[in-house]
Homo-oligomer: A and B are copies of this chain.
Amino acid sequence: MKTTTIKDIARALNMSTSTVSRALRDSYEINPATKKLILDYAEKMHYSPNPIALSLKESRSKSIGVIVPEIANNFFSQTINGIEAVAAEYGYHVVIFQSHESYEKEVINTQHLVSRRVDGLLVSLSSLTTDTRHFEELVERGLPVVFFDRIPKNIRTFKIIADNFLGSYQATEHLLEMGCRKIAHVTSPSWLSITKERLGGYQQALEKFGVPFQENYIKYCEHGGMVTDEIETAVQQLLDLPAPPDAIFTASDRITTGCMSYLRRQKLRIPEDIALVGFTNIAVADLLDPPLTAVTQPAFEMGQLATELLLSLIQNPEQEITNEIQCLKTTLTVRASSVQQATWRPS
């Protein structure tokens, strides 16, 4: 695109570039009539200061980068809305990238965002990321980075998570209270922070009810549910067990809906044959057949808090990071998918 530069204006008006530049900066050294002439011409030519050059000079782009596994996911799109709400308030632009659950794409996105001089990064790790050196280096070199939801263990910065342990504990406890004793858990890759936290809550609830933990009731989906096959294989393996589960507790939007879809195609009745509880922010949980019992994360609030902390790091990069991990409460909403019809009444 042809953009108008200070040189173009100077040439057209037969003035020096320094006069034009000073007029555009509203300098007192230029007389008002000349200033008006220059400003009018600049406006006519759609002149706008080159913000990349400006940002090189000021070393602030007023942009923050966001890297999430995927935006076609209710949890992440709600988080992004929270991020944008706070960023807009402080005059920051938000640049969004998807890793598509790929480690390589995450690394490329990171390099690109940094090369475009964002002032800070908000990241939720891809499900295939086991090596986080690309972020460690940035943090060491002083770029503010805040992680949310899927966080690395060893990088010292702010991290915002939902209370995955408690959310998972409550979901499992609810299924146990409904009489289920063979509760399967279909979840994200084993190495993700959220997976470990949720497994912990699940185990603690079983323990409270004196139900032994069984490894073969746990299924990990390495691509976080992006690949339908891995969800369906996991569910089928559970159904093939000598003692198939009487309930499934699922992690993430896609694993939940993928699981529900597969159970229905197998003509299994939910919850009569098998109960279902999802750790999901799916917007239409109450319109599903049956309405889905769900642990919901405060996604919008998580995005807001992560952004506030990132902006505070951008303003004051030298600050002491206390209270490194901040944990937001989840909500369990009980619907028909986990409660036998006889006992369930919609509120």
One of B52, B142, B284, B288 near A116 (C-beta < 8 A): B52
CB of A115 within 8 A of CB of B56, answer: no
Q: Mark A79-114, 1 if CB is under 8 A from B, else 0.
A: 011001000100001111110100001000001101
Contact: B72 with A98, CB < 8 Å? no
A195 located at the interface, meaning its Cβ lies under 8 Å from any Cβ of chain B in the complex:
no
* 6 A-B interface contacts by CB (under 8 A): A2-B142, A50-B115, A52-B56, A63-B116, A95-B95, A289-B290
Interface 9-mer from A148-156, A166-174, A237-245, A256-264 = A256-264
A138 at the interface (CB under 8 A from B): yes
> Which residue from B71, B116, B138 sits with its C-beta under 8 Å from A77?
B71
Return the contact of A257 from the options B2, B50, B143, B283 (Cβ within 8 A).
B283
Q: Does A32 contact B (CB under 8 A)?
A: no
A48 partner residues in chain B, CB cutoff 8 A: 111, 115
Q: Which residue of B lies closest to A264 (CB)?
A: B287
Instruction: Give bound CA distance, A20 to B51, whole Å.
Output: 28
In the complex the two chains form, is A98's CB within 8 Å of B84's CB?
yes
Known A-B contacts A46-B141, A289-B287; A116 and B116 likewise in contact (beta carbons under 8 Å) = yes
Contact flags A244-259 to B (C-beta < 8 A → 1, else 0): 0000000000000100
Count of this chain's copies in the oligomeric assembly: 2
Which residues of chain B are within 8 angstroms of A290 by Cβ–Cβ distance?
Answer: 289
Residues of B with C-beta under 8 A to A17:
none
Report if A229 contacts B (CB, 8 A). no
Enumerate A266-305 residues with CB–CB distance to B below 8 Å.
Answer: 282-284, 286-291
Q: What residue in chain B is nearest A59 (Cβ atoms)?
A: B1
Q: In whole angstroms, what is the CA distance A257 to B286 when docked?
A: 10
Which single residue of chain B is at the shortest CB-CB distance from A49? B115
A40 contacts B by Cβ under 8 Å? no
Does residue A137 face the partner (Cβ distance < 8 Å to B)? yes
Instruction: Report the Cα distance A2→B117, complex, angstroms.
Output: 11
A96's contact among B71, B142, B261, by CB below 8 Å, is which? Answer: B71
Cross-chain contact B288 with A288 (CB below 8 angstroms) = yes
A210–B94 Cα distance when bound, in Å, is: 51
Q: Is A74 an interface residue (CB 8 A)?
A: yes
Residue of B55, B80, B137, B287 near A71 (CB, 8 A) is B80
Contact B52 A117 (CB under 8 A): yes
Say whether A143 contacts B1, CB under 8 Å. Answer: yes
Flag A37-55 by CB within 8 Å of B: 1 or 0 each. Answer: 0000000001010111101
Within 8 Å of chain B (Cβ to Cβ): is A78?
yes
